[in-house]
Structure 1
């Protein structure tokens, strides 16, 4: 009888682990596609609603601003109701946002987009923490799998939305709304995790929590700058690379394939990089390599030669995928538990996505001022150098909660 009970317990544990694995994959699959799908349909939306290009641009900028504003508050909500319930409620909000956005009307479009941004912010912050808690011995593999599915579905959102809009009477509303089915599936698979309410929010001694102030941690700020720099570089590239290539001599179609090449290079990188990073004592070399690829890739665009563009596209894709994956790994490798990982993730992604929202606008302004892409690309090379410096600091072994010897001496002096 006891043996049967033991076997049943093992089977239940295995089933629960697989459900959590599939749940993490499906949640990750929903974290990019609601944004990338609208980017491909922006022209149809603009013409149908009669809005200007600047207003249409807010459709993609608004979620990034929501990430920036809401990310720091997500860990606080998770501490009160549990990470699993916070993620589950975010999926409900995502479904509602996709449905509302698909209703014709400018008001519905922006309200739905705001809901989508808030929902995705939760997943962005908490999934790395869930991985650290639930898969402590497979952090690299799980981070890679999660990132790959996120980017695959992000690419599918860009590629399939326009063809879907031409099916029957779907239009852009149906093409955006159909992705709500993926969110519904993710929520259904996630339901078993809701029984863990409160389990993922370990009780922390108040005195200890007060001593661990991430906003005063140099390492936490290095991780934050690293995350912010790579976010700015990626979203600026996605926004302006076609225009840069047009100025070099590429036509619109070929420029689009170069952007596709960049995104294709990201996918295998996001799988391999976390597994490599986890096996290394520190990640300094990986961070330097990724930043150098950013520098070389942007320099290739700066040369203005069509010969170097495919190489630059691949290098920039590998650099972007590497830096994103390293950022996710730093959230787990540089923290002591899931709670601290969520807090670092919230801090870094808040700053990171704020830069991501500002970056394309600032680069566009530099182009307007200078009349060429030389100054904007030079600015992105400077950002790459900052990514390199922040990566060196972030890649060194240690925890954000570790205090320096000088701080420890000051604490002892204060006690005495």
Structure 2
């Protein structure tokens, strides 16, 4: 009761400021959803040498978190229903911190076990953070989503660029382990937010609470939607588009520094090039929605997909222009993610359908993406070169273009 009395003495402006800060902490969570993964790519050669891992095993190490995304994502809503969204995110951030420490400090077994824990933890954030953004910023969802995406991708780019310089100073274990610091800080901040929200019922919390009975009442309807969605050809097309762009992105994030080094690019430049790959993607991801307006999404699909093929083929056959081809590929990569996410909403007519298609696309899409880095490493082991891998990425980009054009021309979908 004393706490409640004290809150009455807080000026309304200060109270609003505190509430705004608490709400904005979701963007701090977003900062931690890619950096622990993108810091690995530039360090793979050093990790491989230290832990005696061939290219296939290095690829598997890069694929493990993505596989965790695919397996865990469909189950996150159940945990959120039992614990609440706030507590589920808190648990995810705590386990993320623990996973980062295990990956760096517990030897070879810890490298694999920690990576798996990291993947599972980030999968929870992948599912719940966009939902929190939409819930807490109902009048500014597009802007808030853009900020969320920029935070996530921007920190991922920084992690890529800083990996090698940090590794020179503190070793690859220390470089990967340092990301436990921001993860630990956000865990404490989210604990503050969770406790503050538990002491009062915010409009957002009330909205979430009110939505639960409706969710229970519509369980049978959602089950029917889930069955029918998996039988819809266009749903599979959207899912394949999501999966193909994910394969391209995660192969690049995992192997691009190694590929460049094999072509004679100095190792200290590769981390910065991977950062450029991601930063250009941020800018293009903010611009591509202009082409998604109207009945057809064909133009957006072409702009998103064709540069992926050009960049891969350019790097394969003219590697001296590596930075140019990386920028071209990053244009496609940044646009492809936004187009894939947009197609999920554009090709469904109800919130329930959108939810079902999103779950299907993320589950299958991440399964496909998980195969990518490992397959790329296996191809390298067989061929002793990266040109075949780059040609494979170009072929997948062409397939993505064809599938996207079919989807984009279907004006009646979702209506």
What is the TM-score when the length of structure 2 is the normalising length? 0.79
Query: Contact between 1:71 and 1:347, CA under 8 Å: does it hold in 2?
Result: no
Q: Deviations over 1:169-209 (max 9, x none)?
A: x5444333321221233233434356449538532323421
TM-superposed CA distance for 1:350, in Å, is 2.1
Query: Contact between 1:229 and 1:387, CA under 8 Å: does it hold in 2?
Result: yes
2:126 & 2:294 partners in 1: Cα distance? 25
2:310 aligned to which of 279, 283, 296: 296
TM-superposed CA distance for 1:316, in Å, is 0.5
Q: Deviations over 1:118-153 (max 9, x none)?
A: 001111122233333333443332222212111111
Q: 1:42 to 1:237 in 2, by over 3 A?
A: closer
TM-superposed CA distance for 1:87, in Å, is 2.0
Aligned to 1:163: 165
1:231 & 1:252 partners in 2: Cα distance? 25
TM-superposed CA distance for 1:319, in Å, is 0.5
Query: Contact between 2:281 and 2:330, CA under 8 Å: does it hold in 1?
Result: yes
Q: Deviations over 1:274-304 (max 9, x none)?
A: 5x467656544212211122233234335x1
Q: Deviations over 1:8-27 (max 9, x none)?
A: 8898567545532x222112
RMSD across aligned positions (CA): 3.6
1:265 aligned to which of 280, 290, 301: 280
Query: Contact between 1:296 and 1:315, CA under 8 Å: does it hold in 2?
Result: yes
1:44 & 1:308 partners in 2: Cα distance? 25
SS of equivalent residue, structure 2 residue 230? helix
Pairing of 1:93-242 with structure 2 (within 5 A) = 93-165=95-167, 170-191=170-191, 192=193, 195=198, 196=205, 199=209, 202=212, 203-204=214-215, 205-213=218-226, 214-242=229-257
Aligned length: 390
1:286 aligned to which of 282, 300, 308: 300
Aligned to 1:383: 396
1:327 and 2:337 correspond: no
Question: Which of 195-204 and 151-160 deviates more?
Answer: 195-204
Aligned to 1:360: 373
Query: Contact between 1:26 and 1:186, CA under 8 Å: does it hold in 2?
Result: yes
TM-superposed CA distance for 1:106, in Å, is 1.9
SS of equivalent residue, structure 1 residue 102? helix
Q: Deviations over 1:94-124 (max 9, x none)?
A: 1221222232322222222211110011111
Q: 1:221 to 1:341 in 2, by over 3 A?
A: same
Aligned to 2:327: 314
Structure 2: tracts of 5 or more residues without a match = 1-7, 199-204
Aligned to 2:201: none
Structure 1: tracts of 5 or more residues without a match = 403-416
2:15 & 2:62 partners in 1: Cα distance? 42
Aligned to 2:84: 82
1:201 & 1:330 partners in 2: Cα distance? 25
Q: 1:76 to 1:215 in 2, by over 3 A?
A: farther
Q: Deviations over 1:320-342 (max 9, x none)?
A: 01111223334555567777655
Aligned to 2:318: 305
Query: Contact between 2:95 and 2:118, CA under 8 Å: does it hold in 1?
Result: yes
What is the TM-score when the length of structure 1 is the normalising length? 0.78
2:352 & 2:83 partners in 1: Cα distance? 13
Aligned to 1:59: 61
2:325 & 2:405 partners in 1: Cα distance? 23
